[in-house]
Amino acid sequence: MDCPRCKSQLKLVKVTNVDLEQCANCKGIFFDNFELKKFDEPHESPSEKIILENSSSAAVLKDSPKKISCPKCSNIKMMTRFYSVKQKIEIDECGACGGIWVDAGELAEIRAEFSTEEARDTATAKFVSFTTERPMEESQAVLEKELAILKRIGRVLHFIFPDSPNVPDKK
CB 77 within 8 A of CB 69: yes
Burial class, 30, CB count within 10 angstroms (exposed 0-12 / middle 13-18 / buried 19+): buried
Query: Are the beta carbons of 149 and 169 closer than 8 angstroms?
Result: no
Hey, which residues does 156 pair with through a beta bridge?
none
Which of 33-37, 40-44, 144-148 is the least confident region? 40-44
- Position 45 scores a pLDDT of 63
pLDDT at 156 over 80: yes
Split at pLDDT 50, 70, 90, the class of 128 is: confident
Taking residue 170's Cβ as centre, other Cβ atoms within 10 Å add up to 9
Task: Name which residue leads in pLDDT, 139 or 15.
Answer: 15
- Residue 152 C-beta-side C-alpha neighbours within 13 Å: 6
| Mean pLDDT, the chain, whole residue set | 83
pLDDT, residue 131, reads 63
Angle between helix axes 106-113 and 48-56 (nearest 10 degrees) is 120
Eight-state DSSP code of residue 32? -
pLDDT in tens, 54-76: 665 555 554 566 789 999 998 99
What is the rounded distance in angstroms from the CA atom of residue 168 to the CA atom of residue 158? 7
> Average pLDDT, stretch 146-159?
89
| pLDDT of the residue at 136 | 67
Kindly tell me if the per-residue pLDDT of 133 is higher than 70: no
Give, for 94, the enclosing helix (H) or strand (E): none
